[in-house]
Structures are given as C-alpha cells and as structure tokens.
Chain A
C-alpha cells in the first residue's frame, strides 16, 4: 500500500523564522512528488519534483527531492503570517497517475 508520511504534524514559529518540512514516501512506481499549500479550502500547487537533487525555488519557498532516501523537504525562509497553512505532500504513482497524500504539516506563524 502506498504511503506518504509528513513531519512534524504541526509547528508554531515566529515571523521571520526559517522552517523545514519533511516528507517521506513509499509509492509504487514512483514518478513525482508534489507539494501543496492548503488554507481554508482547496490545496494550491507549490512544486512538482521529479529529479533527485535539483532544488526548485519560488520566492521564499524551496524544495528538493532525494530519491535515494525516498524523501523531500520544503523550506520556507523569513516566514510570514500568511504562510500559516497546512502543507501537503503527495506522491504520484507511475501506473495510475494518482496521488497519495500525506497527512500534512500544520504551520502556524505568529507575530
């Protein structure tokens, strides 16, 4: 059974801090790993990672995949209160192209 595990489950930081969110996966015929940010409603896409060791960056967010360790990290630097959300990672299977989501990391950024 495909499985995606995220840690920590929740995190409270002060504005300006840097955070690292972890995701490990056991996905059959793994193709890619995706990161999403979920606030009140639907998840919004952040990154898709297919190749190991290549960092993807978008503003203060960056992410990298380690296929040897079957894991990925999402970094957020200089956090802001608007970064408060649940961050989900998901693995895509190669055969069915469906996503298996982790339980998410709930990030709260305080002033």
Chain B
C-alpha cells in the first residue's frame, strides 16, 4: 500500500530555534499534502493544506509565519516551526493522497513527529 515517510520521528529543541519536519510520499505522487497536530488525548487538528507549486492554505488560528510550509515537489512537503516555544510541543502528522486516485481516495499518514521544545 501507499507509504508516507515522515522525518524526524522525534525532536527536542531549545526555545527560539527552528525545526524542519519532512513528509515524503514514497510510492505515489501527491499534489496535496495535509499537516495536522495532535495534543495528548485529543484528535487530529488540521493546520494547513500544502499544495505543490503554490502557497499553502492555513486553517483559522494557525500562524503562517510561524509554521512555514513548502511543497517543492510532488513527493515532498516540509513544515518548519520557526522560533519554537514550549507551547508548540506537540505531535505533528502529515498526510497525503495519491494524485491519481482522485478526491475520494483515502489519505495516508506519516508516522508523526513528536516535537518537544525546552
């Protein structure tokens, strides 16, 4: 089945630094990828929709200057958390849909990145 690789799986950084998370679709092309964050015992919250070759679409309340998204190719999207603060500590998950499958094909998820900001 389709595989989405997310890296790193775990990162600890100091307050004020930036962290980049990569999301790759390994055996399919994805014109659209989605970034979610999940707090403990809560559901996945959509942060932004990453579109290949164009600007990302951010959900209400998500700061686009803080969470920079780049979707430079059909298989790679990156999320950079800039000037990270302890409240940014969370579990970040990306997902992607096979472009050839149309809008009704299911999303496949990466394994997530646990970010801890100290």
Contacts and interface: CB of A to CB of B under 8 A. Distances in A.
Interface residues of B, number: 24
Given A90-B44, A98-B46, 9 more contacts: A34-B107, A41-B9, A48-B106, A96-B49, A96-B57, A97-B103, A100-B46, A101-B36, A103-B42
Contacts of B45: 101
Given A88-B44, A98-B49, A48 B34 contact: no
Contacts of B46: 98-101
Given A31-B103, A97-B32, A97-B103, A102 B43 contact: yes
7 contacts: A32-B104, A42-B4, A43-B44, A97-B97, A99-B34, A101-B43, A104-B43
Interface residues of A, number: 23
Contacts of B36: 101
Interface of A: 31-32, 34, 36, 41-45, 48, 50, 88, 90, 92, 96-104
Contacts of A34: 106-107
Contacts of A90: 44
A98 B34 contact: yes
B29 interface: no
A100 to B, nearest CB: 7
